[in-house]
Each structure stands twice: as structure tokens, then as C-alpha cells.
Chains A and B, each alone.
Chain A
Amino acid sequence: MNNKSPIFTPSIQIRLFIIAIILFVAGFLLGNQLLILQAQNQRIPDDAQQELFVIYEQYQYIKENFVHQPVDTTVLLDGALAGMVDALKDEYSGYMNAESFASFSGSFSGDMEGIGAIVRTDVETGEIEIVDVLPNGPAEKAGVLPGDVFISVDGVDVRGMSQTDLVTRVRGRAGTTVVIVFERGSKQLTFEIIRERFEIPSVFSEVLDGDIGYISFYDFNQRTRSQIDAALQKINVNSLKGLIIDVRNNPGGLLTSAIEVGSAFVPDGNVILHEVFGNGEEITFESDGSFANITVPIVFLVNERSASASELVAGAVQDYGLATIIGEPTFGKGTVQQLRNLSNGGGVRLTIAQWLTPNRHSIQSNGITPDIIIRVNNDQQLAEMGKDPQRDAAVEFLLSGDVNPAEFEVEVTPEVTEVP
């Protein structure tokens, strides 16, 4: 998968000779217990690693001579690693030091300690905002709302901070308190939130008026599919008139979970997505044989905060005409990140591929365009008023087979709202 062309391609004999010399040196240094740069010497060298030597050169200058001694070398290398990965200029790739990585890797397990909120970074402004709050979670109980923008956490200004760093600050032991200042509209609001331990209740279900089933989920984690199956059983889906799958505000999650969830709607053996790597290699994922056999019409609700795995599943059912997509054009996050743990306890999250829908539609460039577009301009305020025009439109569509978007597109004039 290495697309770089080497600067020179020495003959095999010269390579052998070089390797021998390098290993001689490595052996010599090992013998001396002087492991100056083990990695440099013990590996089969390539041109790039020789180029990287300049980083070590600088490291030595700083370590030996910087005015503030002693220099914390772990922090220096954390800085170098972050700087290197940041130089990709890819918002989804990032380096996490040991501390951040420990916190980050806990986030897909299905339970955690924190405030019970889902966040995302606005690509254009760099602001980190609440996408959703979990029912009965600490954030919801405190009055935090989707759309609230993080200003500070425990007195530390978090504007411009990476999402990973922010999440590390917000999470913490159950029973401890975190003070968060959010911006909502033109106001700044301060919340004191007591953290709790909770199983991420990824899936929420109910039967709406008119015998329409409704299932929403907040992310794609290891338990999402089994919770969807439980919900389908609970509402006895095939006895109803229709089903709404709500992935609005769902930022995605694990690819495996997306395949599992997609397989509920896409009949066995059909393509759910294509994963295309940097070198052109491709993996095709098919429905895994766990088709849920839903016989009633299905609507997927999406919005501009539906991203990644949400778009994959919505894209697949749209390509096959298995469901009607209603809502707003989706976020457009169709790249695949791989999480690798590193020898220093940290981790690197790296964009390695992009996703295409079964019909080879690029999610990254276009997102998913709904079959029926219904925009709402202030869903935060609508939610406070207990209104959900997009969901109402989905119900109308399932009951009558048609819907007039104009009847459901709502403009709400922002007004000052007080939060206790």
C-alpha cells in the first residue's frame, strides 16, 4: 500500500551490504548498552526513516540544552507525534497520548462514566457542540440541549481544542462534578453536572399514534443491533402500519455495528458498502445473514448531523429502495478511520479508506440526499416546544403514502429561553 517511490533503488548486493553494516553498528551499540536509537538501527532502513533522523537531532538539542530542565521527553514526543499526524490536515486523523487513548477507547464499549451527551466538531467553525443528550442522563437532567456549544470545562477554555481532548476533560469518575459553560444562541450558560456511570442506552423505541413504530439510536456501538432487535420485538413491528428508523443526530460509530444494523434491513448476501483504500484496493461488505424480515414500509429520518455509519445504512437502504429517506441532506462523512494502539500506550486514529454505497455513491463528497426533503431551521427550539415536524411528516407518509413537504417545513423565530 506504499505509493511512494523510493529516492533510489540500490541493487540487492548493495542493500545487503548496507544492511550488514547497519546491523554491525546495531550490534556494536547494543553491546555497549548504548541504545541511542534502537528503532533507527534495528529496522531495515528505508529512505524515509533516514529523513526522520532530523527529528531525533532536534530532540537531542532540546533535551540536552533547553533552558528549563529537566525536559519531559514523553511530552516532547507526544508533541512530535501530534504534530506529525496533524500535518496530514485530515480532521478525522489524530494522535492520542496514553491518557487520551485510554479514555477514547472506552467510548465504544457501550458503557461509560460521564455526563451522557454526544458531541461533534463543526468542521467549519471548529466549535464542539452537543449533538444529543441521553434520556435521564446527567446532561439532560441539568438542562443541556443539542446545539449547545462548549466554551469551557472546569474553568479551562476548550475553544479550539480537539474533540478528543475535550471528551477527556468532560469524562470522569461517577459522582464527581464537572462545571461546563455552554454558548446557546447569544448567551453563555453555566452548568454543574454530576457525572454518572451508565450503559449507553443506544436505542430508544415506542409506538406512535396511528400504529407507527419508532426506533431511534444515538450511535453505532457493539450493542446497538441487539438492542434494535429487542426493540423490534417489543413493538411487534410487523403488526404495525409502518416503521420509522431515526438516525438524526447520530454521528456514527463502529463499522462492524453499521454492517450489523444494515443487515437488519438489507436482505442476506447483498452489498451494504464498498470500502476503497488509498492504493485502490477494495473490500465489499455484504449483509451478514441476520435480515430482520420487516414487512411494513420503512422511513429513515436523517438530518445534517447524521454522519458516517448513519449515512452508510441510509445510503444502502436508499440504493435498494428498501426504505424512504426523509429529512435533510446528511453530514457527508464517508471516510474510514482505523484506531491503532502504539507501543507508548497512546494511539493513532487514521483515515485509511472511503466508503461508497452499494451503487458506488461517495458519501464523503455528497452525503445522502433524502427522497423527501424536509428542513427545519431550529430543531433545538422545536425540541423544547415538543415539536418534531420531520417525524410528523414521516408518520403522514407512512399512513397516506404521500406527504407535502411544505406543510412540515417550519421556520421558528429564535426567542430567548431560560434554563433553570
Chain B
Amino acid sequence: MRLSRIMTVGLILIAFSVGYVLGTHNPVQPAIAQETRTSDLFTTLFDVYDILDAQYIEDLDTEAMIDGAIKGMLEVLDDPYTNYIEPAYFPFVNQNLSGSIEGIGVVISENSSGQIAIMNVLPNTPAQRAGLQAGDIFIRVNGEDVTGFTYLELSSRVRGPAGTTVDLEMQRGDTILFFTVERARIEIPNVEYEVLDGNIGYLKLTQFSSDARQKIDEALTALNVSSLNGLIFDLRDNPGGYLSAAVEISGLFLREGLVLVEEFGDGTRQRFEIRDGQGYQILENNTVRPYVANASYFGANIPVVVLVNENSASASELVAGAWQDNGTVTIIGETTFGKGTVQLQSPLGNGGGLRYTIARWLTPNGLSISNIGITPDIEVILTQEMQNNNQDTQLKAALEFLSTLIVER
């Protein structure tokens, strides 16, 4: 035992010394003072963990401690868009934006009493075939009580690989209903379109998913866009999505030029531009990098109205801002949400993820829209009461605006 201890010490000393010597002879830049401080800061963190582990009266839940530390660290930043995503939910957070998910095919929302209910059942999905209905409230999933769960917590239980089944206990009115649903790959319908009276095309984009531009191109082909008298492009209630999708879509009504400027925490900027139907990223030092390939111009010589409202956020505001500054479309509706920051999502070593704000973005004219939003060219209010009465004043204004243009032509 004694011998083994001596050997331990010897081995440790040798390993340390060899490492130290090699280190001093390695021509790596000396670290700045900040790095040393980082080690001090983390010494305290490890000390506290050790104290808790050794002395707290109850057993320690290490995972909860880590989640607590991570959340506590983010809380001091006081930024609603910087969040930690726990390992259990990380696989699900971006599935919506990929254009398809593996699940049962319902859109869920939290009702006023904090329950999670089905908002609508997508057509031709397992959920529809099983008989689930809008308004059904989730009670148990695979036997687990899900009342009080967050949206993400519930999704993580309901979703799963296509071909597997999930047992649901739902409340409908006063009755409890049981369903066994086989999961499948569900296409998320991001684009809706139709031709309205007056030969006006209508296209609604619900989010900037990775396949959004492709879906829009398919819709424009189906609408036979050059035969139309005008087009209404509806970005209302669109919460945003990928920056790359926004740049691709901005090319629709922006032949050449600046889409946005990103300004980072260290003051450096990069620009995104459309040139010859492609999107480019231009770094602070003017290095030009291809960014997205499919940013081609819309092509049809018809007037375009873009509809926005207070729920048009982020990527929606980005494209509306680019189009407004370049004067190719008319924007009708209400002032937009005002989310002028860009988030990056990084996976963490524990299987969770970090979504954090890395930049502000500015419109081509150099304005930040944070907390301001995009002001439409023509402001038209749509109150909740009007919506309840199936009135759409904004769509009506868009149609009137386009028909006036047609007469003038």
C-alpha cells in the first residue's frame, strides 16, 4: 500500500513536470488576464458543488444542480431570447422548422387554465384517423400524468419515431377518452395559397422553415403567378424561423441589394446581400461568401402586397424591412412585433442546448427594429372582435389596394 502511494506521487509528479516543460516550450500565446480569472470563477463553482455534495442534508440531484446553474447564469443576462434547453427537449425544439416531424399530427396550445389542448388536427394524419378533435385536452401520455406540463415537455412525450405507438388519455368535455395512435412522419404545411376574387393570388407563410422557399416556389407555380392581377403575401402571425430561409425568401421581391446587416457584440458587422438570385454573406473584412443558392427573383410583373401584424416577428420583420427599404412591395397591416436580434443554437455536452442572442440585425437603411417593429406603408387595424366576427379588414384593404392599381394600369 505504501509502495503504491509513493509510486502514485512519483507518477503524478513526473506527468506534471513533463507536461509543464512541454507546455513552456510550446509557442502558444500567453493567455490574457481574463482566462486566469475564469479559472478562479470556476474554482468557486466547483467548491460550492463539492460543499453541496458533501454536506447537504438530502441526497444531491446532480442534473438538477447543473440545470439550475445553467439557468441561473442565463437569468442574469435578462434576455428573453437566450434560453437553455434541457436535454430531454433539445431534440424537439427545431423539428418544426425542418418542415416535417415524426409524431401524430396535431397542433397544440396551452389554454387559459394552463392545460394543453389540441388546437387543430392536421388532415390525413394518424391523429385524424384515430378520431382526435380540436379542444381535446391531454391528461396522460403513455400512462404519465401530463397535466401541468409545458408545451415542450408534452411534445417530447407525444412525438417519437414513425411506426411506434403512443397511448393517449384525453378529456373531451366531461368524458375521458383513450386513444392508441401510431406515429408517422408529418409534413408541416407552411404554405397555404388560393386565388381570390379579382384574380388576385393569396399566399400565406406560417413560418420560415428550412424548406419554406421551395414550398413558396411550388405554390407560385401552382398559382400560375404571371397570369394574376396581383399577389397578397401574408406574413401575419408568422413568428420567424431560420435566417437562411429569410434571405432566400427576401430574394423573391428584391432583385439586387442589401437584405440586412448583422451587428455582433464586439461591434463587428456582416452584411447579407442578394446578387444574381443568390444570397451572399459579406464579412467585416469584405470577404464574400456564398450563403444561400435559391434566392431568385419572383419574376412576375404584378403588384404585391405584404400583410403583417403584431405577431409578425423576427424573420418576418427582416424580409418585410428589406422589401420596404427597397420599395418593391406595399406593406399593409399593423406594426410588427419588434424582435431585432439573432440567436444561435449550440448543443451542449450534456445533450441539452443553448440558444443565445449573438447579434442585432439592422434593416438595409441601418435601423434596428428591436422593440419598434416595422411600420406598414398602410396601417389597417384588425381587432379581436372583428376576427371573432370573421372580418378581415387587412385582407380587404389589400384587395382594394390592388384593384385600384389594376384600374390605374
A125 within 8 A of B: no
User: With the chains together, A68 CA to B19 CA distance in Å?
Assistant: 37
Q: Please tell me if the beta carbons of B75 and A79 are within 8 angstroms of each other in the complex.
A: yes
A338 within 8 A of B: yes
Q: Please tell me if the beta carbons of B84 and A58 are within 8 angstroms of each other in the complex.
A: yes
In the complex, the number of residue pairs spanning A and B with C-beta atoms less than 8 Å apart equals 273
Q: Please tell me if the beta carbons of B56 and A278 are within 8 angstroms of each other in the complex.
A: yes
Q: Please tell me if the beta carbons of B44 and A346 are within 8 angstroms of each other in the complex.
A: yes
CB of A365, distance to nearest CB on chain B (Å): 13
Chain B, residues 42-53, CB within 8 Å of chain A (1/0): the string is 111111110111
Closest A residue, CB atoms, query B76:
A79
User: With the chains together, A35 CA to B350 CA distance in Å?
Assistant: 23
Chain A, residues 80-113, CB within 8 Å of chain B (1/0): the string is 1111111110100101000000000000000000
In chain B, positions 32-86 with a C-beta closer than 8 Å to chain A are 34-49, 51-77, 79, 82, 84
Q: Please tell me if the beta carbons of B45 and A34 are within 8 angstroms of each other in the complex.
A: no
B20 within 8 A of A: yes
Closest A residue, CB atoms, query B44:
A344
Question: Which residue, of A20, A51, A75, has the highest number of chain B Cβ atoms within 10 A?
Answer: A20
User: With the chains together, A381 CA to B67 CA distance in Å?
Assistant: 46
A28 within 8 A of B: yes
A226 within 8 A of B: no
Which stretch from B23-31, B133-141, B227-235, B239-247 is at the chain A interface? B23-31
CB of A87, distance to nearest CB on chain B (Å): 3
User: With the chains together, A174 CA to B48 CA distance in Å?
Assistant: 34
Q: Please tell me if the beta carbons of A354 and B57 are within 8 angstroms of each other in the complex.
A: yes
A31 within 8 A of B: yes
User: With the chains together, A27 CA to B20 CA distance in Å?
Assistant: 4
B348 within 8 A of A: yes
User: With the chains together, A33 CA to B34 CA distance in Å?
Assistant: 12
CB of B212, distance to nearest CB on chain A (Å): 25
A416 within 8 A of B: no
A48 within 8 A of B: yes
User: With the chains together, A12 CA to B4 CA distance in Å?
Assistant: 10
Partner pick for B55 among A40, A86, A278, A335, CB 8 A cutoff: A278
In chain A, positions 48-96 with a C-beta closer than 8 Å to chain B are 48-49, 51-59, 61-63, 65-69, 71, 73-88, 90, 93, 95
Q: Please tell me if the beta carbons of A67 and B38 are within 8 angstroms of each other in the complex.
A: no
Q: Please tell me if the beta carbons of A51 and B62 are within 8 angstroms of each other in the complex.
A: yes
Chain A residues in 8 Å Cβ range of B57: 277-278, 335, 351-354
Which stretch from A1-9, A129-137, A153-161, A407-415 is at the chain B interface? A1-9
Partner pick for A87 among B40, B64, B341, CB 8 A cutoff: B64
B18 within 8 A of A: yes
CB of B78, distance to nearest CB on chain A (Å): 9
B407 within 8 A of A: no
Chain B residues in 8 Å Cβ range of A1: 54-55
In chain B, positions 6-32 with a C-beta closer than 8 Å to chain A are 7-8, 11-12, 14-26, 28, 30-31
Q: Which residues of B contact A (CB under 8 A)?
A: 4, 7-8, 11-12, 14-26, 28, 30-31, 34-49, 51-77, 79, 82, 84, 264-267, 341, 344, 346, 348-350, 352, 354, 356-360
Known: A38-B43, A79-B75, A84-B68. 14 other contacts (CB 8 A): A16-B11, A27-B20, A38-B39, A38-B40, A48-B49, A54-B70, A66-B79, A67-B264, A69-B267, A76-B41, A80-B73, A83-B69, A88-B52, A278-B57
29 A-B interface contacts by CB (under 8 A): A19-B8, A20-B12, A23-B16, A24-B19, A26-B16, A27-B16, A28-B19, A30-B20, A31-B20, A31-B23, A31-B26, A38-B43, A39-B46, A48-B49, A54-B350, A56-B42, A63-B38, A65-B358, A66-B265, A67-B79, A67-B357, A69-B267, A73-B37, A73-B38, A76-B73, A80-B72, A90-B56, A343-B47, A348-B48
